Amino acid sequence: DAGVTQSPTHLIKTRGQQVTLRCSPKSGHDTVSWYQQALGQGPQFIFQYYEEEERQRGNFPDRFSGHQFPNYSSELNVNALLLGDSALYLCASSQRWGYAGGLETQYFGPGTRLLVL
Amino acid sequence: GENVEQHPSTLSVQEGDSAVIKCTYSDSASNYFPWYKQELGKGPQLIIDIRSNVGEKKDQRIAVTLNKTAKHFSLHITETQPEDSAVYFCAATLPPWTSGGYNKLIFGAGTRLAVHP
């Protein structure tokens, strides 16, 4: 049983460019959350997708957007990249809200390391 | 919103000793507290979690305790081994039915644990 997968593993972009990161959830999971982890810090919640809709959003600007597909996979898009967007981007999958009364365990993928020059 | 503080930021122990990492949270409505281990170049891996209706949970050499009154929870690792060396993150989440919920994880800043042979 494959766990959460993410692609690409590494990415180098320049300021102002746009980037798309991809995530495939663990088998049986239908909810995908995205987190940004700056060097030496804990992951910060970006947003969560369920039933192809953004359900909740953290304190990130509109430059960060996402999408969830019918097969539950997801994309994270970042426009107009800034140097400060350099980080490890983590995808986490879980079962749907309410499946375990709001206590659904989130499993993380290996992340995509983005470097903005 | 919810805030999680984690201490210490670094911890160095000798192989065979015990290690304790402590976290405090701000919102008494938080009901789920997972702990993740992150090795270099990898995504966070869930090692143990605890629900708010449980005071203690143990899994082999790892245990977690929760004090809801004081709003703090701790990770205990006994008989540490060199392979326990990693960064450990605590996290908390609010139930989906509360404001700001939808089971987004709020992470502490992490503890870098070094186990010396």
C-alpha B3: how far from its chain's center? 14
% of chain B residues with pLDDT over 90: 79
Specify the pLDDT at position B63: 97
- Of B60 and B95, the structure prediction assigns the larger pLDDT to B60
Specify the pLDDT at position A9: 96
Specify the pLDDT at position A5: 97
Residue B49 contacts residue B35 (beta carbons within 8 Å)? yes
Specify the pLDDT at position A55: 87
Q: What is the average pLDDT across B64-79?
A: 96
Q: Which of B33, B64, B104 to mutate to test the interface with A (most CBs of A within 10 A)?
A: B104
Structure tokens, A58:
């953290």
Asked if the Cβ–Cβ distance from B110 to A107 is below 8 Å, we say: no
Structure tokens, A2:
């494959």
Exposed e or buried b per residue across B76-108, where buried means at least 16 C-beta atoms within 10 angstroms of its C-beta: bbeebeeebbbbbbbbbbbbbeeeebbbbbbbb
Q: Quick one: pLDDT band at residue B107, thresholds 50, 70, 90?
A: very high
Q: Which of A32, A53, A106 to mutate to test the interface with B (most CBs of B within 10 A)?
A: A106
- A4, A97, A107: residue with CB nearest B96: A97
Residue B88 confidence (pLDDT) above 70: yes
Asked if the Cβ–Cβ distance from A111 to B103 is below 8 Å, we say: no
Mean pLDDT by 10 residues, chain A (117 residues): 91 98 94 95 94 90 97 97 98 80 83 97
Q: Quick one: pLDDT band at residue B34, thresholds 50, 70, 90?
A: very high
Specify the pLDDT at position B54: 83
Residue B95 confidence (pLDDT) above 80: no
Convert B22-79 into a string of H (helix), E (strand) and C (coil): EEEECCCCCCEEEEEEECCCCCCEEEEEEECCCCEEEECCEEEEEECCCCEEEEEECC
Specify the pLDDT at position A102: 60
Asked if the Cβ–Cβ distance from B45 to A108 is below 8 Å, we say: yes
The answer to whether A110 faces chain B, any CB pair under 8 Å, is yes
The answer to whether A32 faces chain B, any CB pair under 8 Å, is no
